Structure 1
Amino acid sequence: MGTDVGGGPAPADRERWVPESPKDTGYGRSPYERDRARVLHSAAFRRLAAKTQVHTAGTDDFLRTRLTHSLEVAQIAREMGARLGCDPDVVDTAGLAHDLGHPPFGHNGESALDGLAADCGGFEGNAQTLRVLTRLEAKVLGPDGRSAGLNLTRASLDAVAKYPWPRRAGERKFGVYPDDRAVFDWLRRGVPADRRRCLEAQVMDWADDVAYSVHDVEDGIHGGYLTLRPLLCDADERAALCADVAAVYSAESAADLGAVLVDLLADPVLGPVVDYDGSHRAQVALKATTSTLTGRFVTEAVRATRDRHGPGPHRRYAADLVVPRRIRAQCALLKGIALRYVMRRPGAEARYARQREVLAELVRVLADRGADALDPVFAPLWRAAPDDPARLRAVVDQVASLTDPAAVAWHARLVG
């Protein structure tokens, strides 16, 4: 997991699960450029266009989907990684691929499928992403005829691993199902410490947090779902927001978050968007706020990392990303604003309950009908399954692959 003499990537980083012969396409592309192209051209990536980010996909032309979010994460990660010395194509690939395993209906769908898949190890979007990349996508077959998915390099797969460990009691996040442990152990071979993430994965994860926090607030303000004015005028509302953030997004106390929130609300960068009216001038101001916050969160992390580890270049396990406490708290507060005023807005819970019902009924009917009701990609997994948990996993793979509209359409066709 080190580097060649001269600072290049080690040969082990470029290895693929299934060895491939060298390709001479005339472009002179690196293995990591090919990884990026494989993700970009995958079916799972295209499906992200109709999967929910925060707002239901297709409800507004302005609002982000999982696809636009992934493109933004990749762009932020690429620039931040390049400034630290990471291979830009590795962090770009990680940003593009990090949400490929997310099911219909966003995190609500993820939570629903986790309960429905209890008998086969549960469901987690990041573990499903590894499964998509190494098994479910159609690109490369191994010598035994089994799919190797996109067969990305070890470095790129490791960069996608936000939670590089199996499920453990009491932990909500994990990155591999028992059924995929062999390829997981291969990609983690040579890692210097259990559960440690490579720098590229840390960069992708912070880029995801930055994009999620800043852009979801931008979408909420533009869509009329939230306004910052109550936070400016009401100390009790600020305290309630900080309690939400401390419970969900941050290890900081609500009191400490309150002090950061007061400073953030007083920052001139937020002033122009307090009374947003949707005009062209207001949209310009909102975009300027978005750009300034994104730049701040990235620049402060790059600066702090260089201060601790030196100017670099840094890649793989040579350094860890450092995000200043104040910056991390600001990011968490923005995520909390989207949570409190968008995801938990009046009427949202009824919609979420219906989404969970749709997924539960789909899993039940597909489990009853078996292979004949599954797509040709997933039917062989059902037929080859040795037991009921493995058959359930094939059903969950099928449902997780669906877009939001497809899940509704499948439910209408199969359940009525």
Structure 2
Amino acid sequence: MAELVPGARLSAGDGVDPDFFGYRDLLDDDDRKLLAGLREWLETNLAPIVDDYWSRAEFPSQLVASLAELDVMGLSLDLPDRPARSRLLGGFVGLEFARIDASFASFYGVHSGLAMGTIAQCGSDEQRERWLPAMRRLELIGAFGLTEPHGGSDVAGGLETTARRDGDDWVIDGAKRWIGNGTFADLVMVWARDVADDEVKCFVVEKGMPGFTAAKMEGKVALRITQNADLTFDGVRVPEANRLQNANSFHDTNSVLRATRGSVAWSAVGVQTGVFEVAAQYARDREQFGRPIGGFQLIQAHLAGILGNLTASLGMAVRGAQLQDDGVFEDAQGALAKSFCTTRLRESVAWARELMGGNGIVLEYGMARYFNDAEALYSYEGTREINSLIVGRAITGESAFT
């Protein structure tokens, strides 16, 4: 009888490659070498401790220094001290993080994509020089403050956090919710409505500014390693030098979201990759009725379905990254990729959990964490319903938003 090892996953050379159509072959040798180094780091440093930290809802901050040595932050951004590499490489980097843990992928996406991306797109040359090199080295950690207690899907029209000019400063009042990295971020990109012109602007609020508080959200059943926070701004004075000079309307906010929404699709692909690897290895090792369960038709049907979902999702994510590299990626394409890939993830992880029976709901076998985390990916950065309406508007030319 084969040994059933909790949390074991299919290794390279032991079975079918989850990248079934070989999309990684689109990358050059240097890119694949970078990914191999990142995968080795994740399997050595994160994989052995991830279930423990997920159970305790804590972030393994001790890993940040060694992660910085890999130099994978902001790869797709044109930084003052490093030219941009392809969106395709950046997508595969996000996949590798999510393959091990969706929360760590969220940490990467919030810091590298949303926070650094906001400064890269909306900051002046001086602001980019001031913050981005240190963020690249993970000497400064970033967060992105848009969602509010009363504003999620409708935040574009209902932003309640305000900014008021007072001499050389801005005074910010309001609250944000569900802010990833929020409990420990050094810099938070805070989107607020200017009371003078009613336009949305972005301010870099620094940790320790008087009137700024961050409280960890408790009781989550998904993305438990992600340190989501409730942020409160009570007369926080921010210098004009911390107002991002090229963020002057919600159109600018949306340009950041357009660039990063595809990253959630990549996270969904990464989680599906981990799900497939764990489920496939389990099917090889678990024996019932005197044989490995991988020899039963229904188990094989589940695995084939998961691989099909994964392959279709990866194809969409890859093409989206290519369109971004070409500068022709549209909102509706990002919305479809996010919606489709996270929906397929939800289906895949349900099949995998079912395949593993009772062992699918205990943390040590590796599937329960994926199962719960999939629910968060399904909802954040635009629900399926909202993204469907964005795509529907592109199809019909009619807006169904109320």
Higher relative helix content: 1
Higher relative strand content: 2
Task: Give TM-score, length-normalised by structure 2.
Answer: 0.33
